[in-house]
Amino acid sequence: MEPRDALPLLGFRRRRTKHVCPASAAIQKVCRIRASKRWSALLTQTKSRIGFKCGMRKRLGEVHWAAFVKYAEDEHKASFVRALTPAAGMLCCEGKLDGTACPKAVVIDLKRVSAAECEEMLPRLHMDHTHDIKHICEVWSKALPERPEAWDDGICGPLLAHLLFGTEDHVLTQCSARPVWRRQIVFRCGSARGVEGQRATDFCHDLERAHYGLRTEDIQWPRA
């Protein structure tokens, strides 16, 4: 982790950019609903992946968990939703982990599909994290003191939230070359729930091979 004084975090606010998606209002509504469902599954529903399945709500306690949810909503939810309503009007599979291009060249042209087609196609584009979510939460939990006084006690909160929700390059790429400050969520084609005859090898999102490599020292502030 970079020294505190190397990163302009105090009073930091994410840069806001103008963003206009050329898709129709009906298509954008479908995409926003999909994004909101993904966000809820990650963070805000009762049995969310981060809070319940990965145990971070219990680890932090209700007060600190609520503070984390508020921070994530304030700093990342808008860009998370924007990821599904891009200015280019296209949603594309970004290929496999090894850099191989998507063999099926999966693309959703939001300017041309109908609302029904969009709703059917969106579940086939997964929002894939650079690091496995469970692994991020394990590193986060381990990096915290036994009784944390905040959700980001001793760690770089903006980086932790970026690892979990970052759909755009972080502004701090200006002062750090570490890949963790780059976009952490990309689209990869994958299976859709309830569809028969699907095989994992048919898709770019490799559900069998989780992404690891994050360490506690990657998010902890250097100790004095």
- Per-residue confidence band for 44, with pLDDT thresholds at 50, 70 and 90: very high
Diameter of the chain by CA atoms?
57
- Distance, in Å, from the CA atom of 128 to the CA atom of 174, rounded to the nearest integer, reads 24
**Does residue 144 carry a pLDDT above 90?**
yes
Task: Please choose, from the candidates 83, 40, 54, 58, the residue with its C-alpha nearest in 3D space to the C-alpha of residue 160.
Answer: 54
Of 17 and 115, the one with more pLDDT: 115
Triad 104, 198, 204: Cα angle to 5°? 40
**Does residue 2 carry a pLDDT above 70?**
yes
Strand-pair partners of 220 = 155
**Does residue 118 carry a pLDDT above 70?**
yes
**pLDDT of 188:** 96
Of 224 and 181, the one with more pLDDT: 181
- Per-residue confidence band for 143, with pLDDT thresholds at 50, 70 and 90: very high
Which helix (H) or strand (E) covers residue 76, if one does? helix 62-82
What does the pLDDT average to over 103-126?
Answer: 95
Contacts of residue 58, defined as CB under 8 A and 6 or more positions apart, other chains included, come to: none
